Amino acid sequence: MFDGFVDEVNITVEAGDGGDGAVSFHREKYVAAGGPDGGDGGKGGDIVFLVDDNLNTLVDFRYQRKFKAERGENGSGNRRFGRSAPDLIVRVPRGTVVSERESGRIVADMSGSEPVIIARGGRGGRGNAHFATPTRQIPRFAKPGFKGQKLDLHLELKLLADVGLVGFPNVGKSTLISVVSAAKPKIANYHFTTLIPNLGVVKIAEGSSFVMADIPGLIEGASEGVGLGHEFLRHVERCRLILHIVDVSGSEGRDPISDFEIINRELRNFSEELAGAPQIVAANKCDMADEEQIGEFRKYIEEKGLPFFAISAATTQGTAELVSFAYKKLKDLPPLKVFEAEPEPLWQEADSAKDGFKITVEDGVYFVEADWLEGVLRMADMDDYESLQHFQLVLRSSGIIDELERLGISEGDTVSVCGFEFDYVR
């Protein structure tokens, strides 16, 4: 975007595939029949997102769009398991919302400090040691590793700030945040001095503070893509409290009341929820305005039931009272908005219809193979009754059970679904 600030980007992540299981037979002097001893493959690496507070932009993702974790190691003889691959850590700014590009499903809201697994690595394939039975004592096959999860993602940075400053360009937002916090934004007497959102911590007393965001100036039509401000409306979305800065002196040749109405219309056009957020109005540059201008604007705002403060950010007049009031107001407001992650669908009928499945019979075992089933198995917990019930429903709904019965499966026969084995029960 501007000055290296990027707050929206598309990337692809691919977790590591599981290692293949080994086909091996025990060889030892004086032991005639050692039996199968092929070990399992290792698990593929996960893709893990982690918040890094040293980052405040997604610009690094402009130069690297694809992230792929390592594959698990293959199994080997003597029942040796392959080594699992390390997870791939991807660092993102706090406040990054991760969603699937095609469906829009929210995968994670990176607002906390805990790492989040975004894509899971594939399980390792089982070695031939697992497939020995009284009737199949020399299994000459093993299973390949499961594929890692691959996702096309949309990353969107929505700043985490308690108070968001909104208003037209050059009304004094940057000056205000510079005098009430340690933030040092670029300040000059021309439109769109602020090209990136600035965050500042406003300290009220020892151990008492809140975060304020200086959002680049909005203009009429911003919600429809006019000017620069529309690019940053998403950063006000999480704010618990809006501090609306208006140039009460009319130094830019605009009318304060008209400015106030235009900005609120843009907020409403972007989001009704945002338009309904608590708002404080600060009439800035009051040192350049006469009492009549201030009084007229004060009357208009207070008739709307909104808190009103006459300030001069340049001289700090009224700024201490303003931030003190904002701090007290925040105590009565809900916490910062966090977007809930939506669970991944375990199975979609359209997927099985499109990709199908294949069943082969070998030594009395019914092998079911289907790429889409790997995803179902990856998400299922076979030790959980409800998860197991859902898995059985998938097999029935997709036509797999009907096909097994058509092939003559009997009670107690073994079914292997992508390496997971169970006894068939009618």
> For the segment 131-173, what is each residue's pLDDT rounded down to a tens digit?
777 766 777 778 788 889 999 999 998 878 899 888 888 888 8
Dist. CA 293–CA 316, nearest whole Å: 20
368 backbone dihedrals φ, ψ, rounded to 5°:
-105, 125
Given this model, what pLDDT does residue 208 score? 86
The bridge status of strand 47-51 relative to strand 88-92 is parallel
Given this model, what pLDDT does residue 194 score? 45
**Higher-confidence residue: 368 or 155?**
155
The CATH code belonging to domain 1-158 is 2.70.210.12
Residues 238-248: tens digit of each pLDDT: 889 999 999 99
Given this model, what pLDDT does residue 33 score? 59
Dist. CA 13–CA 4, nearest whole Å: 23
* Average pLDDT for 390-411: 87
Given this model, what pLDDT does residue 343 score? 78
Q: Which helix H or strand E contains 319, and what residues bound it? A: helix 319-330
Given this model, what pLDDT does residue 223 score? 45
Q: How big is the chain by its Cα radius of gyration, in Å?
A: 30
Which among 2-16, 179-193, 231-245, 321-335 has the top mean pLDDT?
Answer: 321-335
SS3 189: coil
* Average pLDDT for 371-394: 73
Dist. CA 164–CA 200, nearest whole Å: 11
336 falls in which pLDDT band (50, 70, 90)?
confident
Class of domain 347-426: alpha beta
The lowest-confidence range among 69-83, 191-205, 388-402 is: 191-205
Q: Tell me whether the CATH fold assigned to 1-158 matches the one assigned to 163-330.
A: no
Task: Please report, rounded to a whole number, the percentage of residues in the chain having pLDDT higher than 90.
Answer: 39
pLDDT higher than threshold 50 for residue 387 = yes
* Average pLDDT for 307-324: 95
The lowest-confidence range among 84-88, 98-102, 409-413 is: 409-413
Residue 190 makes CB contacts below 8 A (sequence gap 6+) with 170
Dist. CA 221–CA 284, nearest whole Å: 23
The lowest-confidence range among 25-39, 70-84, 315-329 is: 25-39
The lowest-confidence range among 92-101, 132-141, 173-182, 399-408 is: 132-141
Given this model, what pLDDT does residue 47 score? 97
pLDDT higher than threshold 50 for residue 1 = no
Dist. CA 110–CA 93, nearest whole Å: 8
The rounded mean pLDDT for the chain is: 83
Given this model, what pLDDT does residue 352 score? 41
Dist. CA 145–CA 19, nearest whole Å: 5
Task: Please report, rounded to a whole number, the percentage of residues in the chain having pLDDT higher than 70.
Answer: 84
Given this model, what pLDDT does residue 365 score? 85
CATH assignment of 163-330, given 3.40.50.300, 3.40.50.740, 3.30.70.20, 3.30.70.920? 3.40.50.300
The bridge status of strand 358-362 relative to strand 365-369 is antiparallel
**Higher-confidence residue: 420 or 155?**
155
With b for 16 or more beta-carbon neighbours within 10 A and e for fewer, the 150-188 pattern comes to ebebbbbbbbbbbbbbbbbbbbbbbbbbbbbbebebebe
Given this model, what pLDDT does residue 226 score? 44
pLDDT higher than threshold 60 for residue 114 = yes
CA dihedral 172, 174, 179, 182 (to 10 degrees): 170
**Domain map of the chain by residue range?**
1-158, 163-330, 347-426
With b for 16 or more beta-carbon neighbours within 10 A and e for fewer, the 321-339 pattern comes to ebbeebbebbeeeeeeeeb
Q: Quick check: 142 and 75 in contact, CB under 8 A?
A: yes
The lowest-confidence range among 32-41, 100-109, 117-126 is: 32-41
